[in-house]
Amino acid sequence: MAMACQSLIPLLLLGVAVSAVEVQRPRGVPLSKKHFYVEGKPFTCLDGSLTIPFDRVNDDYCDCQDGSDEPGTPACPNGSFHCTNAGYRPTFIPSSRINDGVCDCCDATDEFNSGASCPNTCRELGRKEKESLQKLAEIAKEGFLLKQQLIQEAKRGLEEKKAKVLELQANKKQLEEKVEALRTVKETAEEPEKEAKGRHLKAWEDQKAAVRAEKDRARMVEVFLELDDDGDSFISLTELQSHSELDTDSDGSFTEAEAQALLGGVEKADAAAFEAVWKDIKDKYISEAQAPVEVPLGETTEPLSDNESENYSEVEIPEEEDDDDPEEEDDDQDEEDDDDPETDYNRPPAVQVKKDEEDEGTMPPYDEETQNLIDAAQKAREQFDEAERGLRELDDQMKNLEKETTSDFGPSYEFAYLYSQCYELTTSEYVYRLCPFNRVSQKPKHGGSETSLGTWGHWDGPEGEVYTVMKYENGMGCWQGPNRSTTVKIKCGKETAVTSTTEPSRCEYLMEFTSPALCQDPKTLDQMLHQHNEL
């Protein structure tokens, strides 16, 4: 820092000192044009239009069209007057302002003959300007030092990140292999699990089918008894015809021939033969107990319970082949039915079907062996999922690192430190948030949701100063306007901060941001100030 200090300040002072030296020349002539005005020699207008004796320069009469013969009087309408402003910044004013009673030049030279009392304020102005320039220079110096640190850190960080990417790449290979191995373990464990679960489910389905068959048989017995009006253990054509809903062609007349066809071509059917008949009529048959309810075709009705069917022991029903024992399930059903069997028989069939499904209950728990297989497969699934999740996380991490290591963080990587940081500024209405290289948002101060003012687009400064402006685009749509976007103008500052936010045009935001990353080398600044002072 000491070196930077030494190089800047003397130059500043030198700059002021140079303009403080007064060189003799006609009033209102700048130093750069002094050689055109030589005492005693004819003067040629600067546009070359006329040559006049030297005593007609500043004689308060305009000779030259370009006003160059009257640099120190208001005689020419288009002339310009040069204030030397020793101690401050030289400047030009239109000649018309000479002796107009208003102090324009800080050295008071424009009011030499007007009677206006103009104090010379050049030294004071010079002092103030020097102070503010020095302040700026201080900021620039400190900021520039910080910038050097930022660059060093960013470069170290970049190296570390590149190394991390390599490390992750190696890990990724291992993790991929692990995921594949665990996938095999999982699939190997899932196969017997699937089989065992399938077996269990099949047994459950079989059991339910057996229960249904048993119920169907019980209902068949009930219907047989109901149809067998004369109790001779045969269903005759007449007995069958008493159920008009069985009319095969639904023409309103259930004929003897139709009844006979249903009985399989015979005159009467005993219990064994009725089994075949039952299959054809069960969907249409309406229990007598149910009448007179209108019943849609195709619905089933409640069978008798086992206990009830057992009472009709004179009817012999051939045993069905059945491995599973549905007793337990059926007992529950019986208990419920026994409460009020009459009511049950009278229920509309649609409700009855639903009840039948509910009565099938829930699947019994898995046996120990199946449960063990399920547990083992579940564990393998969890291990596989975890490894796969790990792989995805690693991929994300790598993507982020790659994005970070390949982004344009300035010529010396000096803006890298802003990545993954956010800076806020609260105005009277909103909290604005800038997350450099990511997004800009706006949130109402007193509640309400966040609005995107754009996501990172590109560097957008003018040529040679590209890294002074950031552009964030494609924010939330603006009602009857463009998608919101934000321009961030960056200036050198010791602090990294958002210093102002405005909305110059609806949904187009402007942020001012300071960062040491934009502080210039003080030597370059010296040159700038030097040039400035030489003006």
Binding site for ligand MAN (CB under 6 A): 442, 451, 478-479, 503, 506-507
111 contacts 99 by C-beta, under 8 angstroms: yes
Nearer residue to ligand MAN within complex by CB, 507 or 519: 507
Nearer residue to ligand MAN within complex by CB, 411 or 481: 481
CA distance 466 to 381: 53
Nearer residue to ligand MAN within complex by CB, 361 or 482: 482
Nearer residue to ligand MAN within complex by CB, 451 or 520: 451
Nearer residue to ligand MAN within complex by CB, 501 or 515: 501
530 contacts 11 by C-beta, under 8 angstroms: yes
Question: Minimum CB separation from ligand MAN for residue 127, in Å?
Answer: 43
Residue with tokens 């009020």: 340
The count of other CB atoms within 10 Å of the CB of residue 215 is 22
Question: Minimum CB separation from ligand MAN for residue 65, in Å?
Answer: 54
In a 3-state reduction of DSSP, which class is residue 530?
helix
Question: Minimum CB separation from ligand MAN for residue 478, in Å?
Answer: 5
CA distances from 372 to 366, 378, 400, 414 (A): 9, 10, 42, 60
In a 3-state reduction of DSSP, which class is residue 449?
coil
The tokens describing 389, both together, are 């999740």
Q: Tell me how long the chain is.
A: 535
> For the purposes of burial, counting CB atoms within 10 Å of the CB of 22, is it exposed (0-12), middle (13-18) or buried (19 or more)?
exposed
Q: How large is the C-alpha radius of gyration of the chain?
A: 52
Question: Minimum CB separation from ligand MAN for residue 365, in Å?
Answer: 59
Please tell me the number of Cα atoms within 13 Å of 492 on its side-chain side. Answer: 20
Amino acid at 235: I
**Chain centroid to CA 350:** 51
CA distance 370 to 313: 42
Helix (H) or strand (E) holding 142: helix 122-227
First-last CA distance in the chain: 28
Pairing of strands 430-435, 439-444: antiparallel
Pairing of strands 423-426, 268-270: unpaired
Nearer residue to ligand MAN within complex by CB, 255 or 455: 455
Question: Minimum CB separation from ligand MAN for residue 469, in Å?
Answer: 20
Question: Minimum CB separation from ligand MAN for residue 433, in Å?
Answer: 13
Nearer residue to ligand MAN within complex by CB, 362 or 449: 449
Cis before residue 292, ω within 30 degrees of 0? yes
Question: Minimum CB separation from ligand MAN for residue 512, in Å?
Answer: 17
Nearer residue to ligand MAN within complex by CB, 299 or 503: 503
In a 3-state reduction of DSSP, which class is residue 52?
strand
The count of other CB atoms within 10 Å of the CB of residue 119 is 10
Nearer residue to ligand MAN within complex by CB, 349 or 475: 475
For residue 446, report the phi and psi dihedrals to the nearest 5 degrees.
-105, 55
Nearer residue to ligand MAN within complex by CB, 19 or 441: 441
The tokens describing 212, both together, are 């249904």
Question: Minimum CB separation from ligand MAN for residue 429, in Å?
Answer: 8
CA distances from 351 to 295, 296, 354, 355 (A): 12, 12, 5, 6
Nearer residue to ligand MAN within complex by CB, 207 or 486: 486
Q: Please, what is the Cα angle at 90 between 84 and 96, to 5 degrees? A: 75
In a 3-state reduction of DSSP, which class is residue 451?
strand
Question: Minimum CB separation from ligand MAN for residue 453, in Å?
Answer: 8
Question: Minimum CB separation from ligand MAN for residue 430, in Å?
Answer: 7
Nearer residue to ligand MAN within complex by CB, 24 or 480: 480
Question: Minimum CB separation from ligand MAN for residue 447, in Å?
Answer: 14
Helices 271-281, 122-227: crossing angle, 10 deg rounding: 140
Question: Minimum CB separation from ligand MAN for residue 442, in Å?
Answer: 6
